Amino acid sequence: MTSNMKDKVAVVTGGSSGIGKATAEAFLNEGAKVAICGRSRERLDEAATQLASISGPDNVFVHACDVLDENAVNAFADAVNKRFGRCDALVCNAGQARASNFYTTSDQDWRDEFDLKFFSVLRPVRAFIDMLSASGAGAIVCTSAMLARSPEPFLIATGATRAGQLNLLKSLSREFAPINVRVNAVLIGLVDSGQWSRRYESGEGPDGDKIPQGTSKEDWFVELAKSRHIPMGRLGTPAEAANAILFFASPMASYITGETIDVTGGQARNV
């Protein structure tokens, strides 16, 4: 079985590192063309060089863009249309977790988290929906989090807004089905992405606890997996998350919409 993504165009927001970059690599390996955006021009240029090594620079387009800036997102969509003339899959991947509890989350923190989790999806969807519809088999995939269904008190704002995001995606899946655009989400657990590496480098764990000095990143990841009761005993890799995203975005999932896949190593306990 193949993904049937050859010569199709995939757009990945937050595509310059971590899961987004791994997803771009997965699309390129399947013969697709890829457009990625991110806020850092430096990281985009580095990603462009690495991605071009997979299938050539003609199949890769990078664009500096903040997905919370409506004009910038529209300009990105226009640039993709000019470069490739189409968009078959949109991966909404921008966003990160906010570590805070009820007492440490201000009103502005709540507003910021709502803006990030909702408008990082809404603005790209608005900008690309016409191209996705014209594809005849368009797909929208949102990288969300296990947290949407398994709340944690130390990530209260992120969990609440991720849950609302799933509700939004379900609504969009029903609204877009008649125009042949599918909408699905991949719920990520603990994945060894840049975000976890940055937490290790900061010396502070996800619960606000300090990482013991002298602990290697590999050992900390093992302990993290144990503390989170991950049955597979390890963190996932960006490529493992990317494989699930590729599946949802491809014609392999042509009769699936409004659904989720857990990429959690068995950590998710919801039925």
Instruction: Please check the confidence at residue 78 and state whether its pLDDT lies above 80.
Output: yes
When pLDDT is averaged across residues 192-215 and rounded to a whole number, the result is 76
Q: Which residue has the higher pLDDT, 195 or 123?
A: 123
What percent of the chain is modeled with pLDDT above 70?
Answer: 98
Segment 214-257, tens digit of pLDDT: 788 888 888 888 888 899 988 999 999 999 999 999 999 999 99
Confidence of residue 175 (pLDDT cuts 50, 70, 90): very high
Give the global pTM. 0.93
pLDDT in tens, 155-165: 999 999 999 99
Q: Confidence class of residue 205 from pLDDT cuts 50, 70 and 90?
A: low
Q: For the segment 53-72, what is each residue's pLDDT rounded down to a tens digit?
A: 999 999 999 999 999 999 99
Cα torsion for 203, 116, 174, 179, to the nearest 10°?
Answer: -110
Q: Please check whether residue 6 is in contact with residue 22, taking contact to mean a CB–CB distance below 8 angstroms.
A: no
Say what the pLDDT of residue 208 is: 62
Biggest CA–CA distance in the chain, Å, is 56
State the burial class of residue 136 (Cβ atoms within 10 Å of its Cβ: 0-12, 13-18, 19+): exposed
Left (φ > 0), alpha (ψ -120 to 50) or beta: where does 203 sit?
Answer: left
Q: What is the band of 207 on the pLDDT scale with cuts at 50, 70, 90?
A: low
**Whether the predicted pLDDT of 199 surpasses 90:** no
pLDDT for the residue numbered 95: 77
Over 70: is that where the pLDDT of 206 sits? no
Average pLDDT over residues 47-54: 96
Q: Where are the domains of the chain?
A: 9-189+237-262, 190-235
Contacts of 49 (CB under 8 A, 6+ apart): none
Q: What is the DSSP letter of 118?
A: I
Question: What 8-state DSSP symbol labels residue 154?
Answer: T
If one compares 208 and 189, the residue with the highest pLDDT of the two is: 189
Please report the pLDDT score of residue 237 as a whole number.
93
Contact of 189 with 262, CB cutoff 8 Å: yes
Answer whether residue 106 shows pLDDT above 80. Answer: yes
pLDDT of residue 198: 78
Contact 23, 34 (CB under 8 A): no
Report the distance separating Cα 126 and Cα 119, nearest Å. 10
pLDDT of residue 8: 97
Domain 9-189+237-262: CATH class, spelled out: alpha beta
Phi and psi at residue 158, to the nearest 5°: -65, -45
Specify the higher pLDDT residue, 94 or 149.
149
Q: What is the mean pLDDT of the chain?
A: 93
Write the single-letter amino acid at 148: A
